[in-house]
Structure 1
Amino acid sequence: MTRIPSVSDLSDVCTVFERNVTDGIQIQFLGANPDHKQRGEAQKALQQMQARLRRSIYFLKQRHNSCSPLGRLTDELISRILQYCFWGDNQFLEPSDRFTIPSAFSLCARWRNIAISSPSLWSTIYLPCSPTFFKLLRDRNGSSPLSVFISNEMFGTNKLAVSRIGSRVTEPLNEIAPRICDLTVQWDEWSYETQSFNSLMRQHIGLKEFSALQFFDLSGTDRHCPDNAPCTLNTPVLRTLKLYVDISNIPQLSLQHLVSLEYECWFMTPPQILDVLTLFPALERCSMIDDDPEGEEEEDNVDRPVVVMNRMQFLSIKFRFVKDVDYLLDHIETPATATKVMNLWGPSGEEDGPTLESLIGSRMSSYDELRIVQTPRLLEATLTSKSGGSLQFPHGPRDSDRPLETISFSALASYPSSLSRIELVIPALPSTTRLIAFLRPSPLVHIRIHTHESSLGRLLTALEYTPDVVCPHLESIDCTGTPFSAARMRNFLNFRETKGVALRELKITKGLCDPDASSLVSIIESLVEVDEES
């Protein structure tokens, strides 16, 4: 194996080289009077030697890098690292910030060459952009799909002359429109006194086809702007749409492939929510947020035809009052397998209006399972059907200083039920009498309970009611996480067996049965003990 030359080897070579140079200069210049030509040739030779030595120094630096872990990275891995560096520097870029090229792109010659020759690293373009920089990004990107970010903050309030908007926004956008796969627009013509986005698109883009656009995020357009009537954008393959605009400003889009919508707005009434859904009948996923459900003025929910969403698999509507959610659920039809999440801000304030209990109770006959989880700041009720669909009601007080009211089991008991499974993760259960009234209408086969020991005792007492035993079809109880007395549980199991409605399975947590669960093994078919969660 050839060894790496030592420093002494290099020193010997340099010593000989330096001596020869010194001797040559002395012989040529000190012993005679050199002419101009000889001096020029000597200086040229010395410059060439300096250049050659610089190449040797660069060579040694390269060899040094190749010996380090960084130098042994593959081109593909370096390209991936550079991609993460780009995301880290530009992911949270504010509209007023300038697009930055990470310093890692010029870490060394190799990394710089890899960066320049990796089209995916130049696939994000921020507009407005200088023509020179735009051409650099365009040329280095090649033909890769593009992500484009447009904001009018950079040329609003006279930051950029109107005459330059074309060269820095619309002309580049026109050129690359067919290659854009991801388009984000933050447009606030009210704050920055610029032409509306809809007007700009009508005037400069027209029906130019965005043939690769799959994701479109539009926010900030002002509904009061006089020239903001919806434009038409040609988006034949659009799949995901994210909007933070007034419904009257939403551009007309090609919707045949649109499957996902995120919509955020202020002051939406329930009929307006239905209007938005009507615009996108083929959605599979939809999330809608109303930052202020009260609106500018109160408006009654008028009756109207049901909006049918045949493909919807996930629908989330956040921050509505109970009255609004009740109206929306009555006017939106989705497949039985769909998941619907309706975030509640409490009752609307009407004394005779719907309540959380009426919202849940009136729908218990259509579902198989009810899950109620309550903490000091949040109550979440979930109804689940046998087909896998669910209806979730996360519920919290709008006023953070106002305590959350507990759910009324007595009110739930007044509704017909087809529930076969319930799960209660709740600090305290109501009285035994109210529990009996709540449990009796449901053909329950399974109960999951996580509560204090005293509340579990009330549940067992309710299930021991005579003469007509409550929940005669009950097969299993899961009380993991809840402490209990072995003697109390043994009496309960014996009672159910005596009445001919024996429990088949009991699931508990190791260490929470006092003193232990050994006495329960002989009186139940299946005793499942799980370790306590850390």
Structure 2
Amino acid sequence: MHHQIAATETRELLIELETCVARGLQSHLIGGQSGRKVEDVEQAIGQIEGHLSVFLKQQRNSATPIGRLSNELILEILQYSTLDDDKYIHLSHKKTRLNVAFSLCTRWWRIAVNTPSLWTTICLPMDPNLFRLFRDRSDTLPLKIYLSTRNLKRNESPEASMGDPLPQLLPRLSRLYVDWDDGDYDDFCTFLSTHIGHTELPCLTSLTVEAVGAEWGGDVYKINAPNLSEYRFNGMSDQLKSLISFL
């Protein structure tokens, strides 16, 4: 019964709206019903129909169970869906992608865009446009950075793909994960010396290095991370000693 009353009221509202629009347009077109003027009205009506279609879609979505979720719960879902467990995801498999949940609907996207903590994991190499997106939307929050030479394309240099963007992130670098495969690349210490140098990394608290088969070179490099509290290494024992010397 309630549904029938609501449907009747809706029909009456639409009839009244249609009548008002028709009268307004008729008054507007009196004395000047040129083809151009009618076309302008048709175009305006088309735009209004598009806006109404979007509005009705939003109302329909808000009536679904997922549409009734609070912003706080949606944010919690987005945060959970961006988590990863480093115990089970190998460094070489890490890649930065846009979370598909962000694009579930306009509302979810708006929440994601305005939540810097959802953009704090950056995996290099990555598309330059995507890099700028994550860098800027993470605002001033600490960053988790992954470096992997295994993700480089054929003939792609780590200097350009990882070395160039890395210095932009150093002031906010909190957790650094490195998977360095020797290949045809310069040794790991040379890379660090070139792109980090003696820059102090006050936010860096955790360092994980996967360096089986990587070349270290003869030069000793000392990373300047006064607050480093966690260090994990997977490689040869002589490399471990070299690494400890610069830590």
Shared fold by TM > 0.5?
yes
2:73 alignment partner AA:
L
Which residue number corresponds to residue 74 of structure 2?
A: 78
Matching residue's letter, 2:172:
R
Q: Distance in 2 between matches of 1:215 and 1:10?
A: 60
2:76 aligned partner, one-letter code: R
Runs ≥4 residues deviating over 4 A: 16-29, 88-91
Find the counterpart in structure 2 of residue 187 from structure 1. 180
Contact 1:154 1:160 in 2 (8 A): no
The answer on whether the counterparts of 1:127 and 1:148 sit within 8 Å (CA) in structure 2 is yes
Indicate the residue corresponding to 1:258 in structure 2.
none
Percent identity over paired residues: 25
For 2:229, the equivalent position in structure 1 comes to: 239
The Cα shift of 1:141 comes to 0.3
User: 2:85 & 2:229 partners in 1: Cα distance?
Assistant: 27
1:224-260 deviations in Å (ceiling 9; x for gaps):
x373654221111110110112233232344xxxxxx
Name the SS of the counterpart of 2:165 in structure 1. helix
Mapped partners of 1:120, 1:130: distance in 2:
20
Q: Compute the displacement of 1:33 (Å).
A: 10
For 1:39 and 1:169, locate their aligned partners in 2 and report how far apart those are by CA, in whole Å.
Answer: 58
- For structure 2, the 5+ residue unaligned runs are none
In 2, Cα distance between the equivalents of 1:135 and 1:201?
22
Q: Greater Rg, structure 1 or structure 2? A: 1
Alpha-carbon spacing, 1:27–1:184, altered in 2? closer, same or farther (3 Å): closer
Q: Secondary structure at the match of 1:125?
A: strand
- 2:105 match: 108
Q: What code does the residue aligned with 1:243 have? A: F
Residues 207 and 24 (structure 1 numbering): CA distance in 2 closer, same or farther, change over 3 Å? closer
Match of 1:13 in 2: 13
The answer as to whether partners of 1:119 and 1:144 remain within 8 angstroms in 2 is yes
Q: How many Å apart are 1:122 and its aligned residue? A: 0.6
> Is this contact kept in 2: 1:196–1:221, CA < 8 A?
no
Map residues 147-162 of structure 1 onto 2, 5 A cutoff: 147-155=144-152, 159-162=154-157
* Structure 2 counterpart of 1:200, from 180, 187, 191: 191
Within 5 A, what are the aligned runs for 1:104-503?
104-155=101-152, 159-162=154-157, 165-189=158-182, 192-222=183-213, 225=215, 227=217, 229-249=219-239, 250-251=242-243, 252-254=245-247
Structure 1 gaps, min length 5:
255-534
Deviations 1:424-445 (A, max 9, x none): xxxxxxxxxxxxxxxxxxxxxx
Tell me which residue corresponds to 1:368.
none
- Identify, as 1 or 2, the structure richer in helix: 2
The Cα offsets for residues 428-484 of structure 1, whole Å up to 9 and x where unpaired, read as xxxxxxxxxxxxxxxxxxxxxxxxxxxxxxxxxxxxxxxxxxxxxxxxxxxxxxxxx
> Helix, strand or coil for the counterpart of 2:92?
coil
1:240/1:4 CA distance change after superposition, 3 Å: farther
What TM-score results when the alignment is normalised by the length of structure 2?
Answer: 0.80
- Cα–Cα, structure 1 residues 178 and 49, in superposed 2: closer, same or farther, change >3 Å? closer
Q: Could you report, residue by residue, the CA deviation over 1:371-427 in whole angstroms, capped at 9, with x for unpaired residues?
A: xxxxxxxxxxxxxxxxxxxxxxxxxxxxxxxxxxxxxxxxxxxxxxxxxxxxxxxxx
1:145-204 per-position Cα deviation (integer Å, ceiling 9, x unaligned):
11111100122xx62432xx3342112221211211111101111xx3322211211233
**CA offsets 1:243-279 (integer angstroms, 9 cap, x no match):** 112233232344xxxxxxxxxxxxxxxxxxxxxxxxx
SS at match of 2:151: coil
Let me know the Cα RMSD of the aligned residues. 3.4
Name the SS for the 1:150 alignment partner.
Answer: strand
1:111 partner amino acid: W
How has the CA–CA distance of structure 1 residues 206 and 63 changed in structure 2, closer, same or farther, with 3 Å as cutoff?
closer
Counterpart-to-counterpart distance in 1, 2:105 and 2:59: 14
Distance 1:226 1:88 in 2: 29
CA–CA separation in structure 2 for the residues paired with 1:196 and 1:221: 12
- Give the structure, 1 or 2, with the largest relative contact order (CA under 8 Å, sep 6 or more): 2
Identify if the C-alpha distance between structure 1 residues 245 and 183 changes in structure 2 by more than 3 Å, giving closer, same or farther.
same
- Say how many residue pairs are matched: 240
* Residue 136 of structure 1, CA deviation: 0.7
**How many angstroms does 1:98 deviate by?**
3.5
Q: Is the 8 A contact 1:215 1:238 kept in 2?
A: yes
The Cα offsets for residues 3-43 of structure 1, whole Å up to 9 and x where unpaired, read as 997122222333454567679989999xx994233323432
Give TM-score, length-normalised by structure 1: 0.40
Distance 1:63 1:154, change over 3 A: closer
Decide whether aligned partners of structure 1 residues 41 and 166 sit closer, same or farther in structure 2, where only a CA change above 3 A counts: same
